Amino acid sequence: MAKEPGKYPCGRCGCTPEGRDQDGGRWKIFGGDPTAPEIVSEICPRRLLTHRTLEFMRLYGHYKRGVLPVAGGLLDQPAAYCDAMATLEQWLTDG
């Protein structure tokens, strides 16, 4: 996805096939300071993520509700899945 963003339109933000804002604006992502964005980008931030990252982000919601992708408990899940959930959890709780 990140290598060929034109082939994978977001479907959520309405950006152009090239990942640009339709009004020529920029994406601003704010952190702790609501007056100063931490990231300003001319390219849709979703285009900077790989398909695998987006899939893990989708699974994170299920993870938080206790729904796991593989039958069994947490120790039955693939190591990559457990690592991704731990990383997302840390990013989201550290702000």
Size of the site for Zn ion (CB under 5 A): 5
Window 39-58: residues binding Zn ion (CB under 5 A): 44, 46
> Residue 41: helix, strand or coil by DSSP?
strand
Residue 57 or 70 having the CB closest to Zn ion: 57
Residue 10 or 54 having the CB closest to Zn ion: 10
d(CA 86, CA 60): 10
Question: Which residue has 């947490």 as its token pair?
Answer: 74
Among 1, 2, 8, 10, binds Zn ion (CB under 5 A): 10
| Angle made by CA atoms 74, 77, 79, in degrees to the nearest 5 | 110
Q: Which stretch binds Zn ion (CB under 5 A): 20-28, 38-46, 65-73, 82-90?
A: 38-46
Among 1, 2, 8, 13, binds Zn ion (CB under 5 A): 13
The closest of 90, 12, 71 to 47, measured between CA atoms, is 12
Residue 12 or 65 having the CB closest to Zn ion: 12
- Helix, strand, coil in percent for the chain, rounding step 5: 40, 10, 50
List interacting residues with Zn ion (CB under 5 A): 10, 13, 15, 44, 46
